[in-house]
Amino acid sequence: MLSAERGVAVVTGGAGSLGSVICTGLAREGFRVVVGYNRSAQKAQAMAAGLPGEGHAALPAPVTDTTALAGFAAEIGRSYGSCDVLVNCAGVTRFVPHSDLEGLDDALIDNILATNVRGVFAAIRALRPLLEKSKQPGGAVVVNISSIAALTAMGSNVIYCASKAAVDNMTKSLGRALAPRIRVVSVAPGVVDNDFIRSMDPSWLEEQVSRTPLKRLAAPEEVAAAVIAAIKQLTFATGAVIPVDGGRPLS
């Protein structure tokens, strides 16, 4: 078992564009980071090897596979003994205009809900015993990466918006259910400047910026900073949704 001198942070979807920035931020804060991945093994392993500090690892964490998640948790238990932070960053979507009901087919609906909603719950369920062993002051912390779409109902498609609303509702339920040993919060970004967003129609992007009072997109580093703040500074918050949206609901 690795030394328990530093906390352990697990990030599902850790090899993604946002997950990788969150992993880097957590490593810089002194955590030993477990980069959970689905299909991006090579990228996740390279990233774990390049994170600042020591004791990092990359492990398969397909959030729609409960049996695999049990193995993921068991490996973390063997290597680290406990878990202090879980960041649920794994998620999927695809752009479908909200008026195009036929374009939002059953397979896409099922995939979004299985990954974005059931996957969040399944990861928490699998890691709960290790989170309850945390010696971190104030207990362990779960951070669910949500979206402004949960509030505005505007996003890549109708079911994606619904999935993030479900995540925020689950954050509240689990904030109550897992207290006082585990805090649960959502971090809800507005439109984040990442590869997926940059692939969208430029006129759509301009519209998002114009509707945001701060007149720009969120930087991935700002989302990571909110995650770290939820863990280290907002120690009396649970069941809360923390916006990183540039004031978008105000317009």
DSSP-assigned beta bridge partners for residue 240 = 185
Whole-number Å distance between alpha carbons of 116 and 124: 13
DSSP-assigned beta bridge partners for residue 249 = none
- Give the list of residues 6+ apart from residue 148 with CB closer than 8 angstroms, or none: 155, 188, 189, 190, 191, 243, 245, 248, 249
Question: Given phi > 0 = left and psi -120 to 50 = alpha, else beta, which region is 72?
Answer: alpha
Whole-number Å distance between alpha carbons of 168 and 89: 13
Place of tokens 């008026």: 99
> What is the number of other CB atoms lying within 10 angstroms of the CB of residue 26?
28
- Residue of 119, 109, 248, 133 whose CA lies nearest to 192: 248
Question: What are the residue numbers of the active site?
Answer: 160
Surface-to-core class of residue 199, CB atoms within 10 Å of its CB (0-12 exposed, 13-18 middle, 19+ buried): exposed
Whole-number Å distance between alpha carbons of 160 and 144: 15
